[in-house]
């Protein structure tokens, strides 16, 4: 190659230096067919012509917009105003998706922070009679298999139906006992699993728990350990306040393994719909 011919080309090092790139970047672009040297000298030197300097400018700027190497290659092979418009519009749509994803993650973080804040105001180990609004729940089919491992499998499958690998877990999964089972002290007779839904949250199916009068208690410890004590105190509370259960028993973890490794520091919510006894017999 004569000196005059040499001045029409850049070595890989010279071209890389023009853009402040490591030579490995140009070698990668060559290997994937994005920017192949015009020719390789017998001594192994790679040479790029002036036109490729301009192509590298396009490549680097499109990479700054996070355009994939594959899409850049297709564009360079079929350049036109229409192709550039399609490429940029596609990238704009991807950006909108990223913004929405970030927004959703921020909403998830705010939701968790709100739940943590609510925990600081809970009154523990005290029964309350409250009027609650309508609640939207994602409820599993009845659990018929009493084998512990199979119950865990049913629990996991129900949870994953709502919170798949792309969806954030917004609330712990709770479980439902039929009132006959609970008051017969069959505390492990889980009937169904449920997950409370936010007002705008989608779910494969939605079950409506009607609003009305409920007895509710937040207690520390695990449900299975505390259930006998809660049963005794709940029965006494209902009798003392002339209330009668009118539906199933809902058990909802509030503070769980996300926040503590100590079971004694867990917080569980138990609630059930009730009606005044005098109305039930009147």
Phi and psi angles of residue 10, each rounded to the nearest 5 degrees, phi first: -110, 140
Which of 123-137, 138-152, 186-200 shows the highest mean pLDDT? 123-137
Q: What does the alpha-carbon distance between residue 179 and residue 231 come to, in Å, rounded to a whole number?
A: 11
Asked if 56 and 23 touch (Cβ cutoff 8 Å), the reply is no
pLDDT in tens, 54-91: 999 999 999 999 999 999 999 999 999 999 999 999 99
Place of tokens 């925990």: 119
User: If you count them, how many residues does the chain have?
Assistant: 282
Residue 282 reports pLDDT greater than 50 = no
Q: Which of 20, 21, 22, 26 is nearest to 38 (CA)?
A: 26
Asked if 232 and 217 touch (Cβ cutoff 8 Å), the reply is no
What DSSP designation does 248 have?
-
Considering the chain, what is the average pLDDT of its residues? 90
Burial annotation 155-180 (CB, 10 A radius, 16+ → b, else e):
beebbeebbeeeeeebbbbbbbbbbe
Beta-carbon contacts of residue 20 (< 8 Å; ≥ 6 apart): none
Q: Taking residues 91-117, what's their average pLDDT? A: 91
Q: What does the alpha-carbon distance between residue 239 and residue 215 come to, in Å, rounded to a whole number?
A: 12
Report residue 165's pLDDT band, with 50, 70 and 90 as the boundaries. low
Asked if 140 and 193 touch (Cβ cutoff 8 Å), the reply is yes
Q: Taking residues 222-251, what's their average pLDDT? A: 96
pTM (two decimals): 0.73
Q: Taking residues 27-46, what's their average pLDDT? A: 85
- pLDDT score, position 274: 97
Asked if 251 and 182 touch (Cβ cutoff 8 Å), the reply is no
Asked if 52 and 15 touch (Cβ cutoff 8 Å), the reply is yes
What DSSP designation does 282 have?
-
Percent of the chain residues past pLDDT 70, beyond the cut: 95
Residue 238 reports pLDDT greater than 80 = yes
Intra-chain end-to-end CA distance of the chain, in Å? 109
């Amino acid at each position: 190659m004569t000196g005059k011919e040499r001045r029409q080309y850049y070595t890989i090092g010279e071209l890389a230096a023009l853009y402040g790139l490591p030579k490995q970047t140009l070698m990668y672009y060559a290997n994937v067919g994005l920017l192949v040297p015009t020719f390789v000298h017998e001594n192994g030197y790679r040479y790029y012509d002036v036109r490729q300097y301009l192509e590298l400018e396009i490549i680097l700027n499109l990479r700054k917009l996070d355009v994939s190497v594959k899409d850049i290659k297709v564009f360079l092979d079929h350049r036109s105003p229409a192709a550039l418009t399609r490429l940029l519009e596609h990238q704009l749509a991807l950006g909108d998706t990223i913004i929405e994803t970030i927004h959703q993650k921020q909403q998830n973080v705010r939701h968790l922070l709100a739940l943590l804040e609510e925990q600081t105001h809970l009154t523990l180990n005290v029964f309350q009679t409250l009027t609650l609004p309508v609640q939207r729940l994602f409820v599993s089919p009845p659990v018929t298999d009493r084998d512990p491992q199979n119950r865990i499998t049913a629990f996991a499958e129900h949870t994953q139906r709502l919170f798949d690998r792309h969806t954030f877990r917004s609330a712990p999964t709770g479980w439902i006992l039929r009132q006959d089972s609970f008051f017969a002290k069959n505390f492990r007779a889980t009937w169904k699993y449920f997950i409370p839904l936010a007002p705008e949250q989608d779910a494969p199916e939605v079950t409506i728990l009607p609003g009305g009068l409920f007895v509710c208690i937040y207690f520390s410890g695990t449900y299975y350990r505390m259930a006998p004590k809660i049963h005794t105190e709940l029965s006494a509370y209902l009798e003392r306040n002339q209330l009668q259960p009118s539906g199933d028993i809902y058990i909802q973890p509030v503070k769980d393994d996300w926040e503590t490794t100590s079971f004694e520091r867990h917080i569980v919510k138990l609630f059930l719909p009730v009606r005044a006894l005098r109305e039930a017999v009147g």
